[in-house]
Amino acid sequence: MAFDFIRTDLDEQKSKSRYRQLVCNHVVEQDGYIKVNGKTYLNFSSNDYLGLNNHLAINKALQEGADKFGVCSSSSSLVTGYHYAHQALEEDICQWLDKPKCLLFSSGYSANLALFHALGKSDNSQFFLDKLSHASMIDGAYQSKAKVKRFNHNNIEQLTKLLTNSGTSANKLVASEGVFSMDGCQAKVSDLATLAKSHQAWLYLDDAHSIGVIGDKGQGSNWLADIDITMATLGKAVATSGAFLTCNDELHDYLVNFSRHYIYSTAMSPAMAWASRKSIELIQKEQWRRDKITELSALFSDLLAPQVELVTTQSSIHAIIIGDEEKTIRVSEQLKKQGVWLTPIRPPTVAANTSRLRVTICSNHNTKDIKYLAECINKAIA
């Protein structure tokens, strides 16, 4: 049979309890619930950290954006796809993060590929990546021409050694996530910024899970230090879709002129850009959403039984490491029977033997939800 690796690989995936299937959610994620196959579940796997999905004002802005600019940009940005909605959103983001330039992408995945490809133009570039960096950063880095070195998670000492031994001539980029997607812990942002500067390296942070959640206005890692280049998806706390990258004027110009991911892709929906502006306005104003995550996360941690291995964090993401794929699926299925949705996270998304429940605590959960979640997890894991 042609392409018979397809069947072999799928069979192997099943035999390792790593097989994945799509599940269709039948309701808009509202108040922290989803509906699958006719049953409603409390959803603790969503990335809608601030509970802004389906917010009336954002929906209204989306409609207004569609009326003013259309749903579709109708071309790539350099042809005619760059609308006033995009320009206004970029300006808002520059102000919010206090950065000179911003560029929009249709997804965080493509923004990461674009950045690493652009800076990894030659083997005179060197990338230093935290080992837990997202797949899109790893793909971008290794598909580029740069030399790639990985440092152990948050290990500043090892990174210092790598930078010290890296010579003087190369273009160096230190890259990490701001908040790590599968663990929820934060990068040592100010240490990374200081270290990068002292080695004439640039610092790149993927703030997919920090934006909206970290900082007194939800500005993410830039609240903690001055980051040279920041990428964040709009599909998580901002609760719309697409992504942005902030940087200096020259890199912005360079990406506009040379990034194939930017140039040869239809610009993001202008209606979505307009809706994103409203969401970012709310994120800056509504500190109570971040306070709620902190308060509910502390409650969750207090209520868990001692045998539950929780990674404690300052973010919305709280990992409960179970280890084995099969056991993780079993616990997840048991929780489903109690009406709690927690998608099991397995390799290759996380390292072997670290399969886990990735609990996301969002501003649209309440005390009752968290008490119920902790009670169900304690029963399932004890």
Ligand X SMILES: Cc1ncc(COP(=O)(O)O)c(C=O)c1O
Binding mask 89-108 for ligand X (x = CB under 6 A): ------------------xx
| Nearest C-alpha neighbor of 358 from the set 134, 35, 109, 47 | 47
Torsion of CA 355, 357, 361, 365, to 10 degrees: 160
Q: Give the whole-angstrom CA distance, residue 378 versus residue 382.
A: 6
Distance from chain centroid for Cα 22: 20
In the residue annotation, 177 being an active-site residue is answered as yes
In the residue annotation, 54 being an active-site residue is answered as no
Catalytic residue, chosen from 209, 252, 278, 365, is 209
| Nearest C-alpha neighbor of 268 from the set 277, 318, 378 | 277
Q: Does 116 bind ligand X (CB under 6 A)?
A: no
In the residue annotation, 181 being an active-site residue is answered as yes
Task: Name the minimum Å distance from CB 243 to ligand X.
Answer: 5
Name which of 113 and 193 has its Cβ closer to ligand X.
113
Q: Does 134 bind ligand X (CB under 6 A)?
A: yes
Q: Give the whole-angstrom CA distance, residue 200 versus residue 184.
A: 29
Long-range contacts of 29-38 (CB under 8 A, 24+ apart): 29/53, 29/54, 30/54, 30/364, 31/364, 32/362, 32/364, 32/365, 32/369, 34/341, 36/341
Distance from chain centroid for Cα 214: 13
Bridge partners, residue 247, by sequence? 101
What is each CA distance from 48 to 31, 45, 62, in whole angstroms?
10, 9, 17
Give the residue closest to ligand X by C-beta: 108
In the residue annotation, 365 being an active-site residue is answered as no
Q: Does 325 bind ligand X (CB under 6 A)?
A: no
Task: Name the minimum Å distance from CB 195 to ligand X.
Answer: 21
Q: Does 233 bind ligand X (CB under 6 A)?
A: yes
Count of residues that bind ligand X according to CB under 6 A: 13
Catalytic residue, chosen from 83, 99, 236, 292, is 236
Q: Which of 58, 173, 243, 280 binds ligand X (CB under 6 A)?
A: 243
Q: Which of 170, 191, 235, 265 binds ligand X (CB under 6 A)?
A: 235
Task: Name the minimum Å distance from CB 123 to ligand X.
Answer: 25
| Nearest C-alpha neighbor of 345 from the set 32, 18, 34 | 18
Catalytic residue, chosen from 206, 207, 228, 369, is 206
Residues 43 and 33: beta-carbon distance below 8 Å: yes
Site for ligand X in 170-199 (CB under 6 A): 177, 181
Name which of 104 and 304 has its Cβ closer to ligand X.
104
Active site positions, annotated: 47, 134, 177, 181, 206, 209, 236
Binding site for ligand X (CB under 6 A): 107-109, 112, 134, 136, 177, 181, 206, 208, 233, 235, 243
